Amino acid sequence: MKKMMLIIAATFIWAGSALTQCEEIYLKGYVIDTVKNQGFYNLMVINVTTQQGVFGRPNGEFSVYVRPKDKIAFSVKGYGKKFIEIPKQDRCAIDTVVYLSPNIQKIEEVTVYPIKSLDKIKEEREALSRRETRTVTGVDMLKSPITALYERFSKKAQSKRLVAEMEHQDNINLVVKELIRVYVSFDVVHLEEDQFVGFINFLNIDEHFLKTASDYELIVYIKDKLDHYKSLHPYLFD
């Protein structure tokens, strides 16, 4: 009899404790920025367990009904998510504060290039000229044949000519680069800045054509060459 009474008493105690545990809990509180004091106009409080969510208020305040063991996520665009799990308890309301930290974004350095007008580039195209490197020309060659031969065959003179040719080619490439930059800005061609050099070397545009062609002729020519370049090097444009 005494044993039976103990079992009944234990049953009532267990039943009483079970009744005191809330099946539904009112969760409310505030979301606070860890860096600066501000509101959250896109705060979402998501019950991950039930896949339901509600919006918070602009001042960071929120309220929602949850159940024990529910997993709740607090999400704001530009911030890391915060998760809490609802414990079993005899209180049917929880008042809490949630701290969110903004995501730290690493922004790569960007170089901004000024875009020249087509008229300005046309002036530069027409002005292309190679620097004269020989000191003995024309009649002077007849008056000083030895000097002329020296200027023609000496390593120094050859170096000067080579430097002049390289500088001239650089000037041509710069003009072509400005042209491509304009075409890219107007979505005529699609090319990244770091792909310019490889394409310009492939283009190997004729100087006379560059100086005399119309804007339309240049656009058609460069677009056609770019298509050819992409077909030969598809791995550069994945």
pLDDT of 140-196, one tens digit each? Answer: 444 555 555 555 556 665 677 766 778 888 888 889 998 898 888 878 888 998 999
208/213 Cα distance (integer angstroms): 8
pLDDT at res. 156: 61
77/154 Cα distance (integer angstroms): 70
Residue among 185, 232, 179 nearest 209 (CA)? 179
pLDDT at res. 70: 93
pLDDT at res. 90: 84
Domain ranges of the chain: 23-100, 118-237
Say which amino acid occupies 15. A
Instruction: List C-alpha distances in Å: 21 to 7, 48, 63.
Output: 22, 22, 20
pLDDT at res. 111: 60
13/16 Cα distance (integer angstroms): 5
Pick the CATH number of 23-100 from 2.60.40.10, 2.60.40.1120, 1.20.120.520, 1.20.120.1770: 2.60.40.1120
Is residue 191 within 8 A of residue 177, CB to CB? The reply is no
Query: Coil, strand or helix: which one is 163?
Result: helix
Average pLDDT, the chain: 77
Question: What value, to the nearest 5°, has the Cα angle with vertex 52 and ends 83 and 62?
Answer: 60
pLDDT at res. 198: 92
202/222 Cα distance (integer angstroms): 11
Point out the residues of the chain with pLDDT beneath 70.
1-20, 41, 104-115, 129-158, 162-163
pLDDT at res. 154: 64
Q: Which residue has the tokens 């792909």?
A: 195
